[in-house]
Structure 1
Amino acid sequence: MQRWHDVSCRHPDVKVSADQTPRCHACGKEPQIAELERSRSSGRSSLSIPLDKRLGDLDLWWPRSVPYFQSSLKPDPESEDTRPVFGSQGDADEQPAEDTIYKSTLGSDEFRLVWLDSADTLDSPLHLNLCDYKLDDCPEYETVSYTWAGEGGDSTPCKPVYFGPFWDIMLQTKNCWEMLRFVRPWYGNRIVWVDAICINQADIQEGNIQVANMSRIYSSGNRVILYLGPDIAMPLYGKHPRRRRLHEIADGTIAPNLPAPQPVDSSGRRSYVQSPGDLKALLGRRYFSRIWVIQELLLSQRAVMRVGDVDFWTDPTTSVYFSINLPEWSWEQTDAAWMQYISQGAASISTLRDLLLLTSHCRATDPRDRLFGLLSIMPDMSNPSAEGDASQVEGSGLHADYSLSSQHVYIGLFAYCLLNLGHFNILYHASGNLSRWKAYYPTWAPDWTSRATRRALFDGPELTSEQVEAEIRDNIQEGVRDSRGAESDWYISPTNSDSFSIIECWGPASTHAATLRPWYKDAHIDASTGALSMNLTHYMSVPGKLRRVGRIGVYQIFAMKKSLATLFILSEHRIDKMVMGDGRDELFILSQAGNYTLPTYLLLRRSPNSGDRESYNFLSACPFVQIQADVGMGTVGFMHVTLKDLQYSVYDILQDLQERLDYPLYVQKGLELTSLEMKGLFVGIETNRQILPLIRVLHSERVNPPGDPDAFVDAYLACLSPEYKGFARGSFLQITFSTNQGSVAETYFKERGKLNRPEARFRYRVRDSGDEWRSTIVSQSKYKQITDSSQPQQWIDICFKKHEVRQALTLYSNVDRILDTMDMISASTGRTGEGLWLMVTGDPGDECKFICHSQDKTYLDLDTKLCDYFGMDGSTFMVSIE
């Protein structure tokens, strides 16, 4: 009930009777408080929190700056009413009752103020008027800071407050009602802003607007009146309080006269904490644990707190007075450490981490207010060291919206911190596969209900790799024992430090991954499922079960032992109970910039509900992964494997291959030695690229031995220029050239003749002279005779055995390197036959940059066996974490 007059009453004449009950002398009615309380308790609540939705039906969109991806067609939240339905909808034809107190919804540049009427006695009914103003055109006013539920925790609306000429009635909580009586003037009017009254609590749109305006409302008020409850704040019945600075209650300079003790409640317990003379005890009261009071006290220019008959006041210099007069005082040793920033404005707490740490213990009836209650003092989160700026926070889309469920708010907040701000450490606090969250919460998002999570949301590991290595060497290597001191069923025998190496990954990603596929490139949140998609680098598979073998700090050490290597993983969680050893558990690297940075490892489990390799559930973020490799692996000492090395991509290999194909055919790379044998067999051919047909046949024979001899001969003849008229006859190959082709003749008759070795012999004949086939080393005189320019042109036939060509190629290291490279590309890409050939002969494309080959000593100083053990490949690709 709001208006209690007769419906025909147009000109009310309300008077307060001797029993303090308002009555209208125009219509004869009076408010029925008991009836109003009954209807309030049996009716629907003014505001309820929207229910969480199952994954797949989330329809996420807040905050707007987060890159959301609509995996299915969803309604645009801006195009329709997204406000939830509160309570029962009732009859569709039922019209809502007229709101006689709040005539309309406030605009973004408006707010309301309470004009509170004076009273003759403390027990007089509370009567006030509400007036709407522009933020830029309003009278001077004060704000009030209190808790709706008070110290007793009673948030039941049960006390009447009256409005306007009709004395329309609204029920408020007992503590709100007590606060209004406390600030009510003894004559005239007092203008104050009270959140429970100045904001229509049943209007979500207005609530969103006014929460966004709170920074300006509190900072523009003359002062904030801090109300701790009737057991602390003594009404003075027209007298004036003594006024002192806040530090004077802490150092005992002044002793307040205290109110009379409050009566006990029906259970026999005292309703309020009685400790007003001790500031530290005062800061432990329920009031200082409420999330909303923080911004109210930080944003106000001046705060006044009534304790007994003394008003203790603060301003921006309060912390200075404490440091001078109470040098031993420590705000951190109180329950309200944030009070050190009272009246210092939004910029006083410089980082979001500090803000969340200071407020981690604070309470809120509505869990969404743990965030919404801090928005007005939120630092500029794009720069952790920057001062707070509410406009920048608002511009990021972080604004209060009470149409959202708690689920939506916190998924959005964590997505913003990760994708917009790059706070990777929140992944160390991911909820994982908690059974109570499975159907409603993605595994990558932290548990927002946990106080420990709120305290440490941006904290990461404080250990160093050297500390971890020392723990493994000095303690774990001594053996794992059970609680009775006996060796456990899984034991790492002591090992001489010189007989094994510790291998660790660090450093930046490859140039390709860093520039074309950094972690944030196209990273997004699936609006329907809440899945997080980002670019990660696959480090290794976890092919077996893990055992817990030790602890260092808050981290537990887990190991998986193989014959020549042991994998050690650190985690805060019992990942030994999560990793099944069925080949579905993978370690990924979240790569960051910097040459000396250790990566963040993410332990993920391939989703059982998807055949897509890139879809995973989050198990744990792991700060360190180390491999102890036996000397049998070919490694000694402490090795840092850079992520850049691990990511030697197919693109790099193809580039190297293209370069090698353009090497001169007769020159071994780096040695610059002329091979007359090759020059003679491959006459007229200058580069390795010109013998590609032969290389293709040789690779085909590697894959499918023994191969087709005729295919080899055909490929050889295809490499030769037609001018040499090459053809096969029997077990021989024959080419022809003229004496006018001096460079060819010189190769065969002059340079080879200088070798003076049996391998320099070859069969030849001068066709026009009728010479028979000869197998000889040609003398200098014979060479001059054949190539004498005064003689008419003669044609020379050269003949050599087919196996000489094959033998020469197998001894030519460049060809062997090319064949090995083709094997590497085939293993990495899965391409064979024509598909492999097109990749080898064509220009490498961007898609090849993120296909990493299986490591080989040629490219990475690790034994291939180690890579095979753990399935290392270094591939960077988009991973979806559900």
Structure 2
Amino acid sequence: MVRFLRPWRGSRMVWIDSICINQDDIREREAQVAKMAHIYSECRQAVVYLGDDIVKPLSPGEYPPRRRLEDAIGRSTSRGQLVNEDKREVDIFHLLKRRYFSRVWIIQELILPRQISIPVGTMELCVDKLTGPALSSYNWNRTAAPWIQQAGQRKLSANESNIYDILRATSQSKAGDPRDKVFGAHALINSSHLERSALRPDYSLSCLHVFFGVYAYSLINLKRTELLCNAAGVSAPDGYPSWTPSWRQPEAVHAWFLKRPLEWETDRERAWDPIAAKERWTGERFYLPKEKWAGEAFRTWWEGTGGPSVSSTDSIRVMHVTTEARRWRTSRELYLDEKILAHDWSREVPVELFSTEASHHHASSRPHRQWDRHCVVDAATGSLSLQLVHVLPFQTAPAEAGTAHGAKIFRVPAHVGEADMYLTTDDFALDLHVQPGRDHLFLMDNGKSLPPFYLVMRKCSDGEALPWAFRLLGCCHHLCFRANPGSWTRKSVRVRYNRYDYDRDEVIIEDEVPRRNEDLFLADLQPGSLQATVSSVRSTVMQSLRGEPGELEGLFLGMGDLTKTLPAFQGLLNERRLATPGFLDSYVTCLDKKYQPRVRGGHVELVVQPDSWQAFYTPQVKSLYKEWQYDGASDWSASRLVRYSLFRSKKPIRVRAAKRDLEKVILESPIYTELSQLTRAASRAADGEVSMILRCDQPEDGRTADPLWPKSVMEGFNIDGYTYKVTIL
């Protein structure tokens, strides 16, 4: 090469990295590698010498004919012929198979210079900034050097400006030192000076630390969550980070990009677009525009042979998790909506009537739960700490349901009810690796309108030291549920006229809503502030206590101040989440002490004195306290006739009520229904539902409220929806 470059007359200055850099001096190598971008960008010309078997020597004073690379592209006319001297053509595709073009260092040598000379045979091929656009008509992705189309462009394409995109574009290149796969891409960084200085080459670092550092940088700083698709996961050995690829593979960097997120794009009819709908109303229905949708594999499988048939009257629906910013309105909002009351139920009901745009709290909650907030990597252990939304614990085993578009669809039945959950993966076998009771499903919320990313993780045994420490098993790309929405049964109004006085009467009837939208909004999985929910529950409960008490009057023996009965509601709520005190113990504290209330054998026993019998003996009380005992008798009787005669005897009587009868009154009360909305939040805060509504608004109520997903999904899969600081080991 040196003899070829030597001019036949005069002198020539040439810079050759293998000669001009002391390869044995680590510090010099680091300094010179950092200057590579400047050297190649400022040189007048870079010469690509491919060997004396490719280049024919010329006589002194002889100059080779010059041709532009794009004009010299040809095919070999016979076996092994690389250059056609007659036509001055070169089989470029065969030429790119040479080992030279597979080396990582020559990528910057062909991209950064202003002009490049490639001597082939007796010709000289020229490359400059005009060459790239002329090469775009060829398919270079099947060659060993697909980046050749960027030769002479001074940088890679606009989509390959940071270290992650550059490594992806050059991942199949070769290097004698594996660290050079990263350092060789350093000169091509074009995104920012800060990134180039942060990733300065350092040969004192081990290969493991170099790969680990740039991998963590790409995940955390560049937000490339698709890297987790290629994490070691279940195959990671003990003590090895489960969220990183296996560094023991010979082509570790190439392993980062073997799998990509399954983000299929297809036309799918959305449920509601009010702006477009105003322009597309035909008098019969709304014709809505199409938009991109991730989850084509599941839809193809479902509409093919895999999905169960669902009739138009079936109450079971498939509900997909979506990032759309909507929320479901409360039952009171729906009840007062005149559009719903006046809707013609012979037509499809647009989802706009049942959902509204996300409130400020809903919209502002998502950025605060993004996974990368305060995300750090422990340099000593390699553990990754980030914010994840806990969707659910696996309580039943997944089973493979089918395949489509190279993806696998798994069905997970609910542990309560008849609902099903479907997860779409690439080649991660949920049925072989997921262990119910140990494994959990988390959601990486990317914020804004980006699709969520799902992680299947196993809780570590050391729960006391790290209560939210997990090991990553694998990733999922699409989540949906097949369940009965339940909450979509609304009230409609039919209008009729009185034939005599022509007055219009309104008859309210319940009917099933024929929704066109089966989405579960991500904003509803973790709504905004809990304060609004607490305030609404407080208002409804106090209004109910001031209204007609109904059966509560008999339950609490005519107590005047019904606010003192709330501990009984709290007791029943405690039992539902295995807390104390229980219902009966709380109930007896609400009763007048003159009745000497006590709990015995699943019953509440009272002693009624003669002067209290008249107030006690009411229809509401008699329906609960059905059994009596008199004058030391050992058996309980349910005879009403005898009990009335005992009342006339003017002696104390012992009466009792069964727990199931007392519970029934509480369960059917609207007060219990309202307080139940705070159960999940109370469990998280180790607080009581009643105490939450009786106190003033507290700072801790800024935590999230309960998810607004359908009850069949919430209870069937024990949906959590809360954001935790999770450590992935």
Quickly name the TM-score band, shorter chain normalised.
Answer: 0.5 to 0.7
Structure 1 residue 453, shift from structure 2 partner: 3.8
State how far apart, in whole Å, the 2-side matches of 1:241 and 1:610 are: 76
Structure 1 residue 236, shift from structure 2 partner: 2.9
Structure 1 residue 294, shift from structure 2 partner: 0.8
Structure 1 residue 640, shift from structure 2 partner: 1.4
- 2:349 corresponds to 1:470: no
Could you report, residue by residue, the CA deviation over 1:126-148 in whole angstroms, capped at 9, with x for unpaired residues? xxxxxxxxxxxxxxxxxxxxxxx
- 2:429 corresponds to 1:575: yes
Distance 1:205 1:520, change over 3 A: same
Match of 1:229 among 51, 56, 66: 51
Residues 537 and 876 in structure 1, CA contact (< 8 A), matched pair in contact too: yes
Alignment-derived partner of residue 112 in structure 2: 299
Q: How does 1:269-280 map to 2 (within 5 A)?
A: 277-280=90-93
Structure 2 SS opposite 1:236:
coil
The 10-residue stretch of structure 1 (615-624 or 577-586) with the greater mean CA deviation from structure 2: 577-586
Match of 1:335 among 144, 162, 178: 144
Residues 246 and 313 in structure 1, CA contact (< 8 A), matched pair in contact too: yes
- 2:196 corresponds to 1:317: no
- 2:438 corresponds to 1:603: no
Distance 1:504 1:729, change over 3 A: farther
Residues 851 and 875 in structure 1, CA contact (< 8 A), matched pair in contact too: yes
Match of 1:656 among 525, 533, 536: 536
2:145 maps to a residue whose letter is: A
Match of 2:472 among 618, 623, 632: 618
Alignment-derived partner of residue 54 in structure 1: none
Alignment-derived partner of residue 442 in structure 2: 588
Residues 513 and 876 in structure 1, CA contact (< 8 A), matched pair in contact too: no
Match of 2:12 among 175, 190, 195: 190
Match of 1:564 among 407, 415, 418: 418
Residues 567 and 586 in structure 2, CA contact (< 8 A), matched pair in contact too: no
Alignment-derived partner of residue 153 in structure 2: 344
Structure 1 residue 358, shift from structure 2 partner: 3.5
Structure 1 residue 698, shift from structure 2 partner: 5.1
State how far apart, in whole Å, the 2-side matches of 1:583 and 1:838 are: 32
Which structure has the larger Rg over C-alpha atoms? 1
Distance 1:698 1:568, change over 3 A: closer
Match of 1:551 among 403, 406, 410: 403
Alignment-derived partner of residue 270 in structure 2: none
Q: How does 1:319-468 map to 2 (within 5 A)?
A: 319=132, 329-346=138-155, 348-351=157-160, 352=162, 355-380=166-191, 389=192, 391-395=193-197, 397-435=198-236, 438-445=238-245, 449=251, 453-455=255-257, 460-463=262-265, 464=293, 467-468=296-297
Distance 1:221 1:213, change over 3 A: same
Match of 1:868 among 708, 715, 718: 715
Structure 1 SS opposite 2:12:
strand
Residues 223 and 302 in structure 1, CA contact (< 8 A), matched pair in contact too: yes
State how far apart, in whole Å, the 2-side matches of 1:287 and 1:243 are: 23
State how far apart, in whole Å, the 2-side matches of 1:625 and 1:310 are: 59
Structure 1 residue 227, shift from structure 2 partner: 1.2
Distance 1:732 1:534, change over 3 A: farther
Match of 2:376 among 515, 524, 544: 524
State how far apart, in whole Å, the 2-side matches of 1:467 and 1:838 are: 47
Could you report, residue by residue, the CA deviation over 1:222-249 in whole angstroms, capped at 9, with x for unpaired residues? 1111111121123335343314133376
Distance 1:552 1:710, change over 3 A: closer
State how far apart, in whole Å, the 2-side matches of 1:629 and 1:470 are: 16
Residues 850 and 876 in structure 1, CA contact (< 8 A), matched pair in contact too: no
State how far apart, in whole Å, the 2-side matches of 1:195 and 1:733 are: 108
Structure 1 residue 693, shift from structure 2 partner: 4.5
Question: Percent identity of the aligned residues?
Answer: 26
Residues 167 and 253 in structure 2, CA contact (< 8 A), matched pair in contact too: no
Residues 459 and 469 in structure 2, CA contact (< 8 A), matched pair in contact too: yes
Distance 1:259 1:505, change over 3 A: closer
Residues 444 and 881 in structure 1, CA contact (< 8 A), matched pair in contact too: no
1:310 maps to a residue whose letter is: M
Structure 1 residue 295, shift from structure 2 partner: 0.7
TM-score, normalization by structure 2: 0.66
Q: How does 1:626-775 map to 2 (within 5 A)?
A: 626-629=480-483, 639-648=518-527, 651-660=531-540, 666=546, 692-696=563-567, 699-700=570-571, 703-705=582-584, 707=586, 709=588, 711-713=590-592, 731=612
Structure 1 residue 394, shift from structure 2 partner: 1.7
State how far apart, in whole Å, the 2-side matches of 1:538 and 1:733 are: 56
Residues 297 and 405 in structure 2, CA contact (< 8 A), matched pair in contact too: no
1:869 maps to a residue whose letter is: G
Structure 1 SS opposite 2:213:
helix
TM-score, normalization by structure 1: 0.55
Alignment-derived partner of residue 286 in structure 1: 99
Residues 40 and 113 in structure 2, CA contact (< 8 A), matched pair in contact too: yes
Structure 1 SS opposite 2:234:
coil
Residues 249 and 279 in structure 1, CA contact (< 8 A), matched pair in contact too: no
Structure 1 residue 676, shift from structure 2 partner: 14
Residues 378 and 384 in structure 2, CA contact (< 8 A), matched pair in contact too: yes
Distance 1:302 1:845, change over 3 A: farther
Structure 2 SS opposite 1:345:
coil
Could you report, residue by residue, the CA deviation over 1:180-208 in whole angstroms, capped at 9, with x for unpaired residues? 34334455543222212222222323222
1:300 maps to a residue whose letter is: P
State how far apart, in whole Å, the 1-side matches of 2:396 and 2:559 are: 53
Structure 2 SS opposite 1:403:
coil
Structure 2 SS opposite 1:346:
coil
Output the aligned Cα RMSD: 4.6
State how far apart, in whole Å, the 1-side matches of 2:26 and 2:93 are: 37
Structure 2 SS opposite 1:297:
helix
Structure 1 residue 219, shift from structure 2 partner: 0.9
State how far apart, in whole Å, the 2-side matches of 1:701 and 1:321 are: 77
State how far apart, in whole Å, the 2-side matches of 1:871 and 1:280 are: 58
Distance 1:433 1:204, change over 3 A: farther
1:344 maps to a residue whose letter is: Q
Distance 1:239 1:610, change over 3 A: farther
Could you report, residue by residue, the CA deviation over 1:500-535 in whole angstroms, capped at 9, with x for unpaired residues? 311222226945642433322211111112111111
Q: How many residues align?
A: 557
Distance 1:682 1:207, change over 3 A: same
State how far apart, in whole Å, the 1-side matches of 2:443 and 2:166 are: 29
- 2:725 corresponds to 1:878: yes
Structure 1 residue 406, shift from structure 2 partner: 2.2
Alignment-derived partner of residue 126 in structure 1: none
Residues 414 and 445 in structure 1, CA contact (< 8 A), matched pair in contact too: no
Could you report, residue by residue, the CA deviation over 1:93-137 in whole angstroms, capped at 9, with x for unpaired residues? xxxxxxxxxxxxxxxxxxxxxxxxxxxxxxxxxxxxxxxxxxxxx
1:432 maps to a residue whose letter is: G
